[in-house]
A and B are shown apart, each in its own frame.
Chain A
Amino acid sequence: MKKKLKLVMVGNGMAGVRTLEELLKIAPDLYDITVFGAEPHPNYNRIMLSPVLAGEQTIDEIVLNSWAWYSDNRITLHAGKKVVEVDRIKRIVRAEDGTEAAYDRLLMCTGSTPFMLPVPGNNLKGVIAYRDIADTDCMIETARTHKNAVVIGGGLLGLEAANGLMLRGMNVTVVHVMPWLMERQLDDVAGKLLQKSLEDRGLTFLMGAQTQDMVGGEDGRVKSIRFKDGTEVAADLVVMAVGIRPNVELAEKMRLHCNRGIVVTDTLQTVTDARIYSVGECAAHRGIAYGLVAPLFEQAKVAANHLAQFGIDRYLGSLTSTKLKVTGIDLFSAGEFMGGEGTEEIVMSDPFGGVYRKLVLKDDKLVGACLYGDTGDGSWYFKLLREGLSVHEIRDRLMFGEPDAGLQKEG
């Protein structure tokens, strides 16, 4: 029988492993597969770290692929081994500890690294990012021993972290430089509704506050955070959730063309080296490095198809939608929810039921949606958004959910 090709995957994250799963589905025997992962864990659902932090789930529950899965699929897994070098001429991958693996196809899934504010004290003990199990454990630990936490960044991740820490008994202050929360996913109205309901749950917010520096105690741990306006807030733990940067350290070393991520084509092959694929938060497709899970899975599907040498299907980018995983708070946004040139807005608010909805239309097509309080119809809107069909006929009922489906739901 014909000798198998060698596929090496750098990074043991969700996007990459999903690619393998897709690949094994359509071409189970094409490759000998080797996986390098920096974390000493099998592939777990990073998205679900928040529920873990909130104490609603355990690490085990969020593991997507158990150790057994790798062996069952005859995948060589080098967990906890960080790849430091790739020889594109000899087509060899080398890890810190010297472990090597040769490849015919290389899949770069190095993901992203959290961005740390370049302010004095950002290296103090107790100043962390929120990215992986280690960070999560650290927070859970600190919550046991300390009282005050400050989360910098009122985005998706920051709010989930803040919520988790609060549920673990800390009094949490969220510092956000923008006028309203999750400004990339919500409009001002929804953002303020969100802030209100989080405040009701016990979170404190400092909006528009600009961090100057972090003050450490003699034990070397952070003890407070200072702002440009001179105010100061006590903090035994500072979580930075001010965004992520594609992790291209290795790729650059390999002289792969990077620009806001490893630049890939519609087939997810790097523009520099056709043997090398890249998916996930590290990949820059048409100038966008996606930070959400849905697009990554779409990339995985396409990448797998090409790795399987079928050459069908291209990745054309994704419309993204957001959901916040804070129990009891439903919000959804997608598309150009902020409106803009030539768009029309339909707005509905129901303070009585704590619901807000904004739909943005352009040329009778739904181009954006921002839902707060009840995201029941989110998927329907998202469908309309993707299909881009005219909603002229149903415009007046659009706000009230899928025709008739809506009515029963409410009744």
Chain B
Amino acid sequence: MRETKSTCPYCGVGCGVIIESDGAQITGVRGDPDHPANFGRLCTKGSTLHLTASAPVTRQTRLLQPMQRLVRGEAPMAVSWDTAMDNAAGKFAQVIQDHGPDSVGFYISGQLLTEDYYVFNKLAKGLVGTNNVDTNSRLCMSSAVAGYKQTLGADAPPACYDDLKHAECLFIVGSNTAWAHPILFRRIEDAKAANPALRIVVADPRRTDTVEIADLFLPIQPGTDVMLFNGMLHLMLREGWTDAAYIAAHTNGFDALAATVRECTPDKVAQVCGIATDDLLAAARLFATSPTTLSLYCQGLNQSSSGTAKNAALINLHLATGQISKPGAGPFSLTGQPNAMGGREVGGLANLLSAHRDLANPAHRAEVAALWGVPSVPEKPGKTAVEMFQAAADGEIRALWIACTNPAQSMPDQATVRRALERAEFVVVQEAFATTATCAFADLLLPATTWGEKDGSVTNSERRISRVRPAIAAPGETRHDWSIATDFARRLEERLGRTGTLFPYESAESVWNEHRETTRGRDLDITGLSYAMLDDLGPQQWPLKEGDATGRARLYEDGVFPTPDGRARFADTPYTPVAEAREARYPFSLNTGRLRDQWHGMSRTGTAPRLFGHVAEPMVQMNPQDMARRQIGEGDLVHLTSRRGSIMLPARASTEIGLAQAFVAMHWGEEYLSGCSSTGTRLAGINAVTTPAYCPTSKQPELKHTAVKILKAELPWSLLTMAWLPPDEVLAVHRALQPLMAMFPFATCVPFSGNTRDAAGGERSGLLFRAAAHDTPADALLEQIEALLGLQSADTLRYADRRRGQRRSVRLVRRADQSAGLEAFLLAGDTSAEAWIATLLREELPAQSYGRLLLSPGSRAPLAVQSRGKPVCTCFNVTDLAIRTELGRCGGAPDERLAALQGALKCGTNCGSCIPELKRMIRMAPAEVIPEGA
């Protein structure tokens, strides 16, 4: 067995992983004990990475050869790399010559490696001569970038993970760290354990698992963060908690801000944010008067029409109280993606240039042009994500190159995005997975390598550069993203009549070395760093100047900031409400965000059925009172409608959600949640409704707030079918089912995995397909679905009452122990039997005694079914039922009960991602609870 040190491809914590492989196949993964981000720990997603890189997954989901789609909407055909690249270069050259460089756009990704990023950026700005290169980091970190630059002068998080150890107060706002950055949250838990005096304040519209660790929780109204921060500053001024000396010595512009926050009286703030004035005061006190205050924030601040202001207003607090540039203090932006930072470093955004240089700055443009050996780089700012697709939809951008991201799932206002993809003359999609929604729009599909195969580097939230190393060879004809871009660039150079190449790269390292040179003298100077050093000494933080032995853990410790006068700038941040306020016709605030066990568009996590154990199906969470008021029952289908679109999905009551608010996970794209609108168009998942309104400064769209209405949907006919499938079929069948989703007004299709797990950690997997319709669909359609799920075999039990639209099919198989198990079932018309039959299948309970009663209708099981419950701990597959039962037995203080749980059931003793949930269950469940039945 070979072991390869690399980095986790998911969130911005940037954990080190050790990939175990047999040379040809990745066989396992574990945390890298030496990596300073995680010291050997991994979360549920990281510890299942090997499951997403198995041979069956690769076979079923990967794009393994270049494909060309001659007629849109039809299946693409395989072509050689040479043909593919010539076509691409030819088409781009022609568009550029006919319509100018700004008629093409490159939409890339925060999941690319720094090297990939660098080449794409140089390709667009250096060769093509357009700044139309933007990335999905625009949906993720651009407000943080703008916030830092506006106040501290450079896009650099001044703090580091180690500060958690030194903090006396943690201010977590707009971040569900427990789910989105689990390993960092483990470190927060450690810090709290090591220092019980540590006070944690959490501000969030939702009562997330992160709140479990909070001493003070501020359930603010969506989008009112600026008002909260200004209100805190107001009180700090009133109470004299600001650090006048620091303000005088190291900052500018405080007076204007002070004038602005004067208006933000506690009463007004309490009224706008929907919190108690006492809590506001408590928060201000803790923030200002704690010896050290570290704030952690993420999309709650970034994905907002006032994202830059939110970031700046928070940084204002740190500057005003001097809570910055010392161990345990500072504004610490948590990065969403594994390499959004790297992208920012190479300037891979429409308004940036290499090494944190500014496009608007002529001197910077000249420097970059000189570095690249080109006469000039374009001056006109490029189109940012939302603008780019708007421009394509308007016919302004004619050729799109999309790499390593899935805009047809992740961009807001899908109607526009799809219009763009359809209108564009030429769409290139460079992808590792053939399964993304965007692939369906591509004229040319270019197979890229991915985690476990790639070679390069990434930078995590704390400015730490780690190597990404290949454990196995690139499968099929896949190529590294940087080399695809390089090949394309060279062919394009010929066609644009350029002699000599700007892209002389032979390896990732050669690209990186050029990037390193661009950082010389910049705030992120890494001229002292090399691949060799990363290999010998492990991950390093920037800056690391030539001659330096190590990088710098914290920035601005000398109080000097990278601004012309060396002083930080207070940003004057008046409060502006969300772009789309709730009103009578759209009375709900829709929030979107991450699930614990899923990642972005799920092109990778979606291949590991085990990761659907925590949250199995798409749903909209609402406050129980709102549901009751609207007579919406648990699991009822609702229309979720905004000004831009409407989707349908089941409603679930959740006390995490405030009144007049709703939450849907960002992950559910049309690959999992779809259907057909009344006008016959396919529904595009959650982002069909979200708003493209963006922050004027950062251009980051407000994915965190959309005004929606929620109406109960009346679809009398429903369908539920579940089936176990062999591992080398389940994902292929999922793809085969996807087109059928559009045959119903509502449809979801998700994998699931067995509650039982064999010694090897392998588990059975299957698919769940749920749909609803106004009336009974044709038998042919149902037979098509049955065929895909093995329900057309001769030994299928059947019940059919055509007239009533009732159809039930069940397939049993004899097991080794002679018991009969449910292999697959389909319920059509009345699906209330789901209540018991789904459990029978999912938990592989013996079913022989049921015989054909398996076909009987109604939610009451013909024979009692005892469910094992829903998995909470994914690592050891411990269910909520088991936990509640165990909690019934063990009394005592919360910590003792947690220990008892961990001792008895092992839950939360591996990756720990479920510990917050365990804590909540402990709080909710007094001793001697009655475990609920199936």
Contact = CB atoms under 8 A, between A and B. Distances in A.
Interface string B740-758: 0000000000000000000
Nearest to A343: B803
Contacts of B801: 344-347, 395-396
Contacts of A344: 801-803
A352 B798 contact: no
A351 B795 contact: yes
Given A353-B851, A397-B857, A348 B820 contact: no
A352 B852 CA distance: 9
A350 interface: yes
Contacts of A396: 801, 804, 806, 830, 857-858
Contacts of A345: 800-802
A410 B853 contact: yes
Interface string A349-372: 111110100000000000000000
A410 B857 CA distance: 15
Interface in B817-862: 820, 830, 849-853, 855-858, 862
A397 B833 CA distance: 13
A399 B799 contact: yes
A172 B853 CA distance: 37
A400 B853 CA distance: 7
Interface residues of A, number: 19
A299 to B, nearest CB: 37
A312 interface: no
Interface in A375-411: 395-397, 399-400, 407, 410-411
Given A395-B801, A399-B799, A352 B851 contact: yes
B630 to A, nearest CB: 29
Given A397-B856, A397-B857, A410-B851, A352 B812 contact: yes
A236 to B, nearest CB: 37
Residues of A contacting B: mostly: mixed
Interface string B851-891: 11101111000110000000000000000000000000000
Residue of A345, A350, A355 with most partner-chain B CB within 10 A: A350
B863 A411 contact: yes
A344 B804 CA distance: 10
Contacts of A400: 852-853, 855-856
A407 B853 contact: yes
B800 A347 contact: yes
Interface in B749-803: 794-803
Interface residues of B, number: 26
Contacts of B852: 348, 350, 352-353, 355, 400, 410
Contacts of A407: 853, 862
Given A344-B803, A346-B801, A396-B830, A351 B853 contact: no
Contacts of A346: 799-801
Contacts of B862: 407, 410-411
Nearest to A398: B801
A411 B797 contact: no
B84 to A, nearest CB: 50
Given A396-B830, A396-B857, A411-B849, A352 B797 contact: yes
Contacts of B797: 348-352
Contacts of A347: 798-801
Nearest to A350: B852
Nearest to A411: B863
A411 B799 CA distance: 19
A355 B830 CA distance: 23
A296 B797 CA distance: 38
A352 B801 CA distance: 20
B856 A351 contact: no
Contacts of A353: 851-852
B858 to A, nearest CB: 8
B850 to A, nearest CB: 8
Interface in A160-180: none
25 contacts: A344-B801, A347-B800, A348-B797, A348-B852, A348-B855, A349-B797, A350-B852, A351-B796, A352-B795, A352-B812, A352-B851, A352-B852, A353-B851, A396-B801, A396-B857, A396-B858, A399-B799, A400-B853, A400-B856, A407-B862, A410-B850, A410-B851, A410-B852, A410-B853, A411-B863
Given A346-B799, A346-B801, A352-B797, 20 more contacts: A344-B802, A344-B803, A347-B800, A348-B852, A349-B797, A349-B798, A350-B851, A351-B794, A351-B797, A352-B812, A352-B820, A355-B852, A395-B804, A396-B857, A399-B855, A400-B855, A407-B853, A407-B862, A410-B850, A410-B852
Interface of B: 794-804, 806, 812, 820, 830, 849-853, 855-858, 862-863
